[in-house]
Amino acid sequence: MVTQQRRPRVVIPTEPIGSIPRPQYLVDAHRAWSAGELPEEDFARACDQALDDTLRRFEQTGSPVVTDGEQAKSSFLTYPLEGAGFLAEGGPAIPFDDGHTRQLPVLAEGPFRFQKYADAYLRKAMARTGAAVKQAVIAPSALSLLYPQDELAAYPRQQFFADLVAEGVRDIRRCLDAGADSVQLDFTEARLSIKLDPSKELLRDFIRLNNCVIEQFAPEDRARIGVHVCPGGDQDSTHSLDVDYLDLLPELFALRAGRFYLQLASEPDRGRVLDIVRRVSYSNQRIFVGVTDPISSSVETPEEVCERVLEAADYLPVERLGTCDDCGFSPFADDESTSRDTAFAKIHARVEGTRLAASKLGA
């Protein structure tokens, strides 16, 4: 009698990107606290209440990996600098396709230091759930935009970059040491940089700067460090969807990270993008493909997600494949364009669709 050999079970990891829309009471609390009209303890209480609800709803989706939903962050970009006295108004503006902009602050003096590290958010979430928790941190390249065009005489640009790298390393290391399942660098300015500088020298500068941080970690830690890129979703608009992925991807994989979270669900020609990824990525890099589009109000079905995963598996070995959302659902605290119900419905579809695809691939 010949014993039939059992095929190994296929497991495809699936992870959220970061932010979840805040409940209305927290949106209001963010506004009041930012205006100095709400005491710190009342704001913290609203954040904790929203965090508890976020983690509960994450668990209801069956998600094996969760985040804090960035409930307490005013912005995914400037969370380390809230309350910093060395910033001023009038930094660079990020224009979005619908006409609105996001204005960044500008560095007025040195030294540059984080006022808060991301492990503070991570530890709060880990204390409230038994699920694996990932933590998003801002890429140093984004914060490099805060240095003014004119050199600060008392704080040279090179010293700023040295301090920026040191703080970026510290932010990631604290998260890894605290037990983060993974740490994700939000590098949403990657595609935008090509729009600002078609020569791609700015993009290459960004990659070199981010590698100055990533390369300070051992290989086993770099396997837990990922990079997220997208065309910058905010208020149902983007800042660089018109930039061709072909211009970005061959440069992107020079980053020494072990994971890459790629916006893909909203791409009109996913097969073209996947073929580029297949050709230019490295065998030690796991590719998390976006299978849900936070900007679209339509909720994907698990079957639609499954088809997107199977499509990606035509180009990438399943052992290198993962799934994610295209972007965070609410990267700025005042973004009310997507409801919490819609966000968690999409996450549930991602989780179930990924499981369905894994089952088909292992059959």
Q: Where are the domains of the chain?
A: 19-362
Per-residue pLDDT reduced to its tens digit, 263-295: 999 999 999 999 999 999 999 999 999 999 999
40-74: pLDDT as tens digits = 999 999 999 999 999 999 999 999 999 999 999 99
125-150 tens-digit pLDDT: 999 999 999 999 999 999 999 999 99
CATH T-level fold of 19-362: TIM Barrel (3.20.20)
> CA 341 → CA 139, 294, 348, distances in Å?
29, 12, 11
In residues, how long is the chain?
Answer: 363
Q: Confidence band (pLDDT; 50, 70, 90) for 2?
A: very low
Residue 352: its H or E element:
helix 340-362
pLDDT band at 31 (very low <50, low <70, confident <90, very high): very high
Instruction: Work out the burial of residue 298: count CB atoms within 10 Å of its CB; fewer than 13 is exposed, 13-18 middle, 19 or more buried.
Output: exposed
**Nearest CA-CA partner of 131 in 57, 207, 223, 36:** 57
Distance CA 327, CA 232 (A): 8
**Residue 6: which pLDDT band, with cuts at 50, 70 and 90?**
low
Tokens 């990891």, residue?
13
Q: Which of 20-24, 310-314, 335-339, 352-356 has the lowest mean pLDDT?
A: 335-339
pLDDT (mean) for 297-316 = 97
* Mean residue pLDDT across the chain: 95
Determine the Cα–Cα distance for residues 151 and 183; give it in Å rounded to an integer.
32
